[in-house]
Structure 1
């Protein structure tokens, strides 16, 4: 160091000395540094992380003198800059809150919705970082409008398609059903809808339950019912059984108001349909007797009314019950109108009654076959009851006995078989004699001498 002498007495300045200084401020990745006095002892440098990074550690470092070796250096423990996530996206009709102000790795943020809205998606999201960047673990959810608790209808039970919940999404549907002593008026359901402002509400159609007579079970087949006003007070219900059953009880029942309780009650029990066998066919020749009509369990016997007839086949049959498969589709359609008024139970199998056989038929009794008569012929209409046989003798013979017999009851003929006897010669000599004979009728042919030359017997009958 050059110093000049002043007036030949001494140096113009004190002799300088060398003081230690710190090296240039150390760099921190993804940060900028600003120092207040370069690298002198006591200088302070401050670090600021770039956008998208967060400072971890002390934000400053100081240039210090090491007294052991009179050197200067920056204090130990530099900060570092760690990547951070962007601020979480705000959602409509909701809010997001984070555990702390900074969005560092591992930071959890939670979404919530305003009243009348429900979260759709993940409620929480976490900030994750890597060498390649940062991101949130889940996409932002949405806040969808929801309905609160559905309305309550007095006297009705409620069933919702999404179960029993605190809130219901748009298009959710709740169904109502009145008890067995009431009837629903109006729509039987409400739906969660959304208005023009994006708010959810329950549809305005609200059903109500009005008192009615109790719902009763109708088994079909075989029963059907038609009511003037369903189960309302004053309604008359008329019942009918199909052709295979018979009704037990009154054909009609009314819904009336009980004088004491003032509640709707049925005037009587509902009738029942009992299995019934078909009517047995009757004829004039057959008498049928049944111990219980055509009802199940009845036994019917038959006998012939005329002694000239006898029963061929079963003398008795029994009415028994069995199960037959039902055409379910036809039954459901035919009873659709009754389903809202009554508990219609469709039977897969119907109990029907059938005779276990057929009664025999009355047939005419038979007479024994007649023997052929000698010197004659017989012509018969048959050999059964009321049939007849006619007899005729050959030429030259006359009939002794009835010319006709009839088959009577008891398998007997009305008379014995007649005989054909020869006509005497003297009765054949002259035609006049033949003509006047009370037994013989003849035709005569006259010859030239007006004498009978030939006589031919046409028929011979007993008188």
Structure 2
């Protein structure tokens, strides 16, 4: 049986006639990166229409359907139709910008133009720890229903957060300079100064570092002291004051500012500060461990203080007394042995260091002694004794 059919294209009657068989699309429709709904396949009759959908990661353009249509110019001799896609295409959705994680680095492979579902790992910079999924993924813009070409980066909560030292650093017997405290960032560094009486050793600084072995997986750092310590300065030897005794408490290993009293032995008197003190070695600037004893001029000198005033009084008096006694007895024993007539006056003993022609005095002479002769001895008063080893005329 012959069939009469008309072909209508764009609502215009193109051809009517009789065909010996139905016109069909002999192949199945094919939409790259998309799918055609059931009902359109090889052998589908002309005018068969099916909706098209794109695969994940692709967005649809055009009519979004396919239809089996008559092929003009075939003269109806082949009874073969073809699929009309109406501009329907599936185009890849891409992330047009490069992903960015603040204070972090994204592995190669993720950049401008990355396809949907492209995934890359994230690594944080030194001093930062990672949280979240630790990766970024290019995804279709939520709610777009594959209707546009632009995707977006899904960070999955991935963040790089600063690692901090939550507590303030502490150096026993020392002070840490400003800038280091609770909440200090990794690599924050401050200098250490020791208290008076202590010397510093080690790096002389503290630094906030990432906790070793944490692999940047937690937020808490720790203080690295680099062996920095403040150690007490001590006087390694015992103090010694010659002819004196030092009170208990001062010896080998005494700390700086340790002070003890000095007492002198019997027969010695004390001078100076009367004490000894362990001090930091002058000019060392607290960079060594050894102090030294400061005696403050303390000495023990003999004879002792308790006898000095007696000697100071008795010795001069004894010398004067011995001299006077000797002169008295010596003068008495020679009185009268030598006399010179001089108005009935007795000549005294006259002592001079040089020769005088005349010795005159208006007052009494107790003694005049000379080793050379005198021409005249004249006096208005009497003389007790005149002694000379030579002639006195």
With a CA cutoff of 8 Å and minimum separation of 6, indicate the structure with the bigger relative contact order: 2
- Give the TM-score normalised by structure 1: 0.27
Decide which structure has greater strand share: 1
- Give the TM-score normalised by structure 2: 0.31
